[in-house]
Structure 1
Amino acid sequence: MANTRDGLPGGAFRVLQDRWPGLPWASATEAHGAFHGVIVLAPDVVIRVRSDDDHADRTAHERRVAHVVGDLGLDVPRPVSETVSAPAWSAIAWQFRPGAPLRPGTWRDDRRIILPILDSWRLAAHRRNALVHLLPAARSWCGGPRWPEIVERLTHHDRRLHDAARRAVRDALAADEDAEPTLVHGDFGPHNILVADGRPPALIDIDNAAWADPALDVAPLLAHYDHDALARDITTETLRRATVHRASLPLQVAAAASLGGDTSLRDHALTTFARRALSSP
């Protein structure tokens, strides 16, 4: 997902320096995700800064989800600070994980990294019968039950786009009905898997974790790996649903960006969906 915001919110760096003076600020580097600004203070912490319209609620949600997932025994980063908030942003310091994002190669090579992570999340789900009540449902990060309504509003100006988006949403919801839900990461893929020599791979950015169709975590893999290669390890039915979910991913990003007030990211995501959906034969 693209990040369309320019750097950290104004003043955030200085406020956070003053709040946590003992951190190694001289070595700070900045990065970003689609909805976060990030300050890396290796080897101590990573600070994630949200500046969307509902940043305080989203940051509180991230903290809750991190504790639920971490309590399952999964090796994921956990928050190590209180939330620091300003009118335009909220931030939390998280455990640092060394490594660089996995650079996709062939499925034959990368499956040894990816499949054990997927399996560990699936198995962890069986340790807590109450997960369905502790975790959000599918697509809560982009509106949850309101997602179809948001997509309708975002696409009503263009009949072809509107019709294609309505089909994609309908198909995704139908795929949900066909699935047995479990614990999913919600933003799975090589970009969120850190690899480092001599260390197990680390899965980061767990704020979209949910109780949902496991094919949601397979869907992003289709952008990096050949379908037939994936079919050697993933069932035909799961891949079918993953293909359906992948088609709607830009609409999820567009809805989340709209809710957060990021009009540039919203428009970028809608353009991506239109390019894929309207150019298909």
Structure 2
Amino acid sequence: MSTAAQDRELTERVRDRLGRLRPGAPVGELRTLPGGHSGLTYAVTAGEGRYVVKAVPPGQRPVGRNDVLRQARVLRSLAGSTVPVPGVVCVEEEQPAWFAMEFVTGEALEPVLDDHRVPGVTARARMVAAARLLRRLHDTDVRSPVLDAPEPLDAAGELERWSRTLHAVPEELRPGGEALLARLAAGIPETGQPVLLHGDFRLGNVLCTGERPVAVVDWEIWSVGDPRIDLGWFLLFADHRNFPRLGHAVPGLPTEAELLDAYLDGCPAPPAMEWFRALGRMKMAAIMGHNLRRHREGRHHDPDQERLPPTIAAMIRTARDILG
């Protein structure tokens, strides 16, 4: 079956299912939403209802980021919790699998990276609220049978995973990378009680209206593991200076220390946070190096990737500084 035919089949399946969900309501066409990383992402209307549809791309296996059914499971597990997420309205496991969830209105903007600017006072309030929201996520009961979670992700496993990614980047694109990996490997901390992890928690994945978070989205790499993995990644986005040639200053943004205080809410600071802050920077260097390598090899043409080398070098350098 051709890709066009598969697209038509998916459209018919979605429109039929939503039509049964909203009897008598006209169902619109599927419109591709930009920015989705997990499979295909569409917007569609059914009467006055607005929905987002995530589907496995035609011809691809439902694994990794394309496993949209896994995303639906975690969203359903969080329904009614203190962590706001879009409500799942229907799921179809027949391949290519897809699910539909409510369309939540809001802005998902990364203050120091996105071109669309928000007032500094608003950005500050959103980041502090997101820090408190991350704590609520980590306090969520992870024993729900619908999660079917993998083995808990610990510090050693996370380091091994992202070390492989960084090693695949040419050495000239990751100056000081080997020394950083050696430092991280020499001081792997003990892992604490596993919690539910988002995997890419930051304001760019939190829809907000005004100063209030209304939904956490993009759950394609959720897992269960050490909460400091999420926390170290989130803190990375507090300072534009972490992103040379990419970031811009936003007056009044909270510091990493202020965000950590908001997350802790009076509780003692977790041990070894320096290690996890450095890990987050290593991961960012690995991701950017991977993307730049793919561009230079002609596998994904994107001239903007040529802006990344200063930030990759800064991530590695500051990670080593954090470790002392």
- The two structures share one fold, judged by TM-score above 0.5: yes
Aligned residue number for residue 134 of structure 2:
118
SS at match of 2:34: strand
- Flag structure 1 segments of 5+ consecutive residues without an equivalent: 1-8
Tell me the equivalent position of 1:188.
201
CA–CA distance in structure 2, aligned partners of residues 276 and 52 of structure 1: 34
Aligned equivalent of 2:283, options 240, 249, 253 = 249
- More deviation, 51-60/207-216: 51-60
Question: What whole-Å deviation, never above 9, does each CA across 1:125-171 have from its counterpart, x for those lacking one?
Answer: 3x7398997345339xxx9696257336513x537738605734862
The aligned counterpart of 1:15 is 9
Q: TM-score, normalised by structure 2?
A: 0.59
CA contact (8 A) 2:11 2:30 kept: no
Is the contact between residue 254 and residue 269 of structure 1 (CA under 8 Å) also seen in structure 2? Answer: no
After superposition, where does 1:1-281 map in structure 2 within 5 Å? 13-21=7-15, 22=19, 24-26=27-29, 28=31, 30-41=33-44, 43-51=49-57, 55-58=61-64, 59=67, 60-70=69-79, 74-79=83-88, 80-83=90-93, 85-86=95-96, 91-102=98-109, 104=111, 105=120, 108-125=124-141, 128=143, 134-138=149-153, 147=161, 150-151=164-165, 154-155=168-169, 157-158=170-171, 161=174, 164=177, 167-168=180-181, 171=184, 174-175=187-188, 177=190, 179-196=192-209, 201-218=214-231, 219-225=233-239, 226-234=255-263, 235=269, 237=271, 239-250=273-284, 251=286, 263-264=299-300, 272=308, 275-277=311-313, 280=317
Give me the whole-angstrom Cα distance separating, in 1, the residues matched to 2:98 and 2:186: 33
Residue 18 of structure 1: how far off its partner (Å): 1.4
Q: Which secondary structure state, in structure 1, belongs to the residue aligned with residue 165 of structure 2?
A: helix
With the length of structure 1 as denominator, give the TM-score of the two structures: 0.67
Counterpart in 1 of 2:248? none
Please tell me whether the aligned partners of residues 198 and 221 of structure 2 are also in contact (alpha carbons under 8 angstroms).
yes
User: Quick check: 1:179–1:213 contact (8 Å CA) kept in 2?
Assistant: yes
**CA deviation string 1:207-231 (max 9, x = no partner):** 3222222222232342235334335
Question: 1:187·1:217 contact (CA, 8 Å) conserved in 2?
Answer: yes
Change (3 A) 1:230 1:273: farther
SS in 2 for 1:98: coil
Correspondence for 1:3: none
What is the distance in 1 between the residues matched to 2:126 and 2:13? 41
Q: Which of the pair is proportionally richer in helix?
A: 1
Corresponding residue SS for 1:187: coil
**1:14/1:188 Cα in 2 relative to 1: closer, same or farther (>3 Å)?**
same
The residue type paired with residue 259 of structure 2 is L
Change (3 A) 1:222 1:149: closer
- Rg larger in structure: 2
Give the % identical residues. 17
Q: Which whole-Å CA distance do the structure 2 matches of 1:16 and 1:245 have between them?
A: 40
When residues 10 and 233 of structure 1 are mapped into structure 2, their CA distance, relative to the original with a 3 A threshold, is same
Give the superposition deviation at 1:184. Answer: 1.8
- The residue matched to 1:46 in structure 2 has which SS? strand
Do 1:101 and 1:192's aligned partners in 2 also have CA atoms closer than 8 Å? yes
| Distance of aligned partners of 1:30 and 1:183 in 2 relative to their CA distance in 1, 3 Å threshold | closer
- Output the CA distance in 2 between the equivalents of 1:210 and 1:265: 31
| Preserved contact between residue 176 and residue 213 of structure 1 (Cα < 8 Å) | no
